[in-house]
Chain A
Amino acid sequence: MDESDSDPGSYPIPPASVHLSSLTPPPSARLLLSRHVTRRTRPLQSSPPLAYLSLQGLLGEASSARSIGGGGLSREEALAWELFTPYQRFLIVAVIGVAAAESKKNGVIAQLQNSVDLRPRMADEVILLDFWPSPFGVRARIALREKGVEFEYREENLREKSPLLLQMNPVHKKIPVLIHNGKPVCESMNVVQYIDEVWSDKNPLLPSDPYQRAQARFWVDFIDTKVYEPADKIWSTKGEVQEKAKKEYIEALKILESELGNKPYFGGDNFGFIDIAMTGYYMWFEASEKCGNFSIEPECPTLMASAKRCLQRDSVVNSVPEPEKIVEFAFKIRKIYCV
């Protein structure tokens, strides 16, 4: 199954549209100290008025006010400047200086913020190191497609792991590994949660309520212990060990079925975190039944109905291999393990 074809579910990345030039303060900022400015033509007797003051006229003696900044002050401005005492001029200059620095700092901060905000709108490089029949890898594929994220799928040979895999997951050396702009995220449900947080604008996978989120995490932990351990034995053992595994597997599925209740998905009306976790096992249901010679549907009919619903979703259809291929793979592995 070729995962790297362009996906009809993906959307084009919009162009960067932030104009940074609007954030650059103009070279000669005219700072208005007050909205109420009266241009005067004669000296005042009362306390000095607030006035327009050009930054070009920041410093200088009153007598040379007209010549400040290369003659930057107009006649009226020079006159206004002369109305202030030297101490008042000092204060004005200090206040304007601080305000200018603040404005420049805010301008720089805004520029930096925009450059950071710009990143998700720029083309992301998303690579998924994966293995086609993996129930864990498929979770990452589904999550990326749910979010419409364009990604490059790279198939790993698990008997000869690539240098990139060993470099990106040195601790476990396992797939899936999501490499997002060069940075690796490992462990399938960790990857799914990361995808949900980064591409948060579409199809939320986790609920927003803290209690519901805790419930979702609890059930995923249950799935990856109480379903995973017997499932693994069903595929890779026989005889009494396999019989015991089948029993534990069905027990775990029944617990999940009662949690599902009559909801279409574990996520309620929406396909979510727990459903994605289970879909990795749903795609292995047929192979499990054939390896273990049993039927899941009569034991867990409601769960099976939800499974079928999940397996029909676009993101899932485009991510899971055909069941026959998984069955074939399972039997090939069993033969290798002399089962």
Chain B
Amino acid sequence: PFVSPAADPAVISPQDPTLLIGSSLVATCTVSPDFHLKAEDLYWTLNGRRLPAASYAALGPTTLSVALARLNGSKQQSGDNLVCHSRDGGILAGSCLYVGLPPEKPVNITCWSKNMKDLTCKWAPGTEGETFLHTNYTLKYKLRWYGRDNTCQEYHTAGPYSCHIPKDLALFTPYEIWVEASNRLGVAVSDVVMLDILDVVTTDPPSDVHVSRVGDLEDQLSVRWSSPPALKDFLFQAKYQIQYRVEDSSEWKVVDDVGNQTSCRLAGLRPGTVYFVQVRCNPFGIYGSKKAGIWSDWSNPTAASTPRSERAAGGCDPKGGEQNTTLRRELKQFFGWVKKHAYGCSNLGIKLYDQWRVWLQKSHKTRNQV
């Protein structure tokens, strides 16, 4: 590659300007005297495309200008590349044009606190977010009755427009929270959201979710779980919800009236079918209040199957169904043998096989989504 001498071959003006969409621009390229080039030896490109000579004007023996009208938003956030070339195509100088719009007010700020220890907030950019310029978001918060503004530091913890405040939060007192969006063309501030940490509490999903058969009953499964550990520490009660679906379906059935027990029996199920079950938790009555908190995430799906009746079930494909039963039966026998003869394999079992089927379903889903 050609290494040019120390002085810059040419100078473009304006250098790296910021412009509003639709504005016009006249840029000039002045060649350094060391280069013995004249204005008529030059041409311009924008993002690699040659600009028409009709838009050029020679402003002096070594200066060529170009007129750009009604600019569109920048093709890339790093700026449009406006380049001054010598006749043989060599690059003499370049200028990055930042063409876009000022940001719009961020909207839909929602926050939640995990076990009253921290606060995570997310928001959406105003419009569809297309300002063509890189936009910085800053989440700020302050106690309503005291003056000092604080800035959130940990961004992108729950998606691109989110921030996490890990500590030093006060309870029983309202906070004001807002988001500032800024880019090269300006700043926009969202509306202020006011909340008390205690009103937006969520918790971890229930742990140790077990789903098992109810004896030989072919239409029932029993679900048991443990309450999240924070429950003991923070004087709240918990209510639960269960959702379950058949392996091949994407339709979840929700059981809403579980209350605060840590077990539940699902009935009216299909025999000989694999079900996926999830449980989630809502802390309420925090420090005696009557309000509900925010539902936790669903627990990881747990799988179990209802027993198949010995009599032939109607409406099933006998060949496909039979293969499945034989396969599972054989697997169970194999695992029994493995437990006896191989050491350190205590995790192998029919339950692990069911969990694998859940995983397989999930990975098929994501593969199909791509």
Chains A and B belong together in one complex: no
Listed in ascending order, the chain A residues whose CB lies under 8 Å from chain B are none
Chain B interface residues toward A at CB < 8 A? none
